[in-house]
């Protein structure tokens, strides 16, 4: 498996710049794992993926690729109307470089938006858990819906006992249980009882309905000319299942396009963070996801 974490301040279009963006993201380089390689060796990639059909959805101003709404979970995620939707006009101008456009989207649209909080929450339902992306997926400009978010799940096996540890692993991740839809079924799985040494949940039970009142889902964000410039957006949404109220939205963008050895320089695993997130999260991990969710849904204190 290929692995390479490169921060945005290493990339050619940031060299020689004294901007705050480069200074902040230098922190990402300083904390990159020791196993990071200097380059990706040239690889033979499958033909590039193409979007051919688009669908208008309630949750976004731009039509989205039909692949994004090919599942019930995807259709639901893109049907959600949030209190602060992105505007139809992204502010794109044809004279913008990829870096300029990325920083513009980060400044004008990215952020953590909390509309309502809940306390003493024991567990959460992840309504749309991403699958583990392949290296080829992460080298393709269009294949993944939200590659700068989905890349996180390459570090986790595609099963509930591993994914659930992102929310239930003490001392920092403090929910008691985690739920998600059972694959190929209308039922749900609930996982609990953390094995801290192996970072997995030992107890998994099946039920016809989830027990958690609160849920998390995600969706890609389509902005004008974003992918052609190596930019991809994500919205992570926390909602109340009883009222269908959106309680919080995390909107972020990633940028790639300058990695040697891949087609068009695309390697989403080392995509750059927006500056406001790079200040807090120096390496790619589940910390950002957990901290946002737990800032909306405060876990119940453990005995």
What is the per-residue pLDDT across 150-203, written as a single tens digit (0 to 9) for each? 999 988 778 899 899 989 988 887 899 999 999 989 999 999 999 888 888 999
Provide mean pLDDT across the span 275-284.
79
Who has greater pLDDT, 29 or 83? 83
Question: Does the structure show a pLDDT above 60 at 20?
Answer: no
Residue pLDDT, tens place only, 189-248: 999 999 888 888 999 999 999 999 999 999 999 999 999 999 999 999 999 999 999 999
Give the pLDDT score at 22: 38
Question: Does the structure show a pLDDT above 60 at 31?
Answer: no
Give the pLDDT score at 42: 62
CA–CA separation, 279 and 227 (whole Å): 24
% pLDDT > 70, the chain: 84
Nearest to 234, CA basis, from 158, 161, 134, 153: 153
Give the pLDDT score at 17: 37
Cβ pair 33, 250 in contact under 8 A: no
Residue pLDDT, tens place only, 95-112: 999 999 999 999 999 999
Nearest to 166, CA basis, from 110, 123, 213: 123
Provide mean pLDDT across the span 24-30.
36
Give the pLDDT score at 28: 38
% pLDDT > 90, the chain: 68
Question: Does the structure show a pLDDT above 60 at 16?
Answer: no
Q: How confident is the model at residue 39 (pLDDT cuts 50, 70, 90)?
A: low
Question: Does the structure show a pLDDT above 70 at 18?
Answer: no
| Mean pLDDT over the full length of the chain | 86
Question: Does the structure show a pLDDT above 50 at 291?
Answer: yes
Domain regions of the chain by residue span? 57-299
The dihedral through the CA atoms of 178, 5, 272, 50 has a sign that is: negative
Question: Does the structure show a pLDDT above 60 at 30?
Answer: no
Least confident of 167-171, 253-257, 288-292: 167-171
pTM reported for the whole predicted model: 0.85
Cβ pair 68, 36 in contact under 8 A: no
Give the pLDDT score at 283: 67
């Amino acid at each position: 498996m290929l692995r390479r974490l490169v921060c945005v301040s290493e990339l050619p279009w940031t060299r020689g710049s004294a901007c705050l963006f480069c200074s902040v993201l230098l922190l990402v380089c300083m904390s990159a794992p020791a196993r990071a390689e200097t380059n990706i060796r040239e690889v033979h990639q499958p033909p590039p993926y193409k979007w051919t059909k688009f669908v208008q959805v309630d949750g976004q101003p731009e039509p989205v690729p039909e692949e994004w709404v090919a599942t019930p979970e995807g259709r639901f995620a893109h049907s959600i109307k949030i209190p602060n939707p992105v505007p139809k006009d992204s502010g794109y101008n044809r004279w913008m470089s990829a870096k300029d456009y990325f920083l513009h989207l980060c400044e004008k649209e990215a952020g953590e938006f909390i509309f309502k909080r809940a306390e003493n929450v024991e567990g959460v339902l992840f309504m749309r858990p991403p699958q583990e992306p392949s290296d080829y997926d992460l080298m393709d400009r269009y294949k993944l819906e939200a590659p700068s978010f989905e890349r996180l799940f390459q570090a986790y096996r595609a099963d509930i006992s591993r994914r659930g540890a992102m929310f239930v692993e003490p001392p920092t991740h403090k929910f008691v249980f985690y739920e998600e839809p059972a694959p190929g079924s209308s039922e749900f799985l609930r996982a609990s009882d953390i094995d801290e040494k192996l970072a997995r949940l030992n107890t998994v039970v099946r039920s016809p309905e989830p027990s958690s009142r609160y849920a998390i889902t995600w969706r890609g964000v389509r902005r004008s000319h974003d992918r052609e410039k190596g930019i991809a957006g994500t919205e992570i949404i926390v909602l109340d299942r009883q009222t269908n109220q959106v309680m919080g939205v995390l909107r972020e963008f990633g940028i790639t396009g300058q990695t040697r050895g891949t087609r068009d320089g695309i390697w989403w695993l080392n995509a750059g963070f927006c500056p406001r997130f790079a200040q807090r999260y120096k390496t790619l991990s589940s910390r950002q996801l957990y901290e946002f969710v737990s800032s909306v849904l405060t876990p119940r204190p453990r005995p």
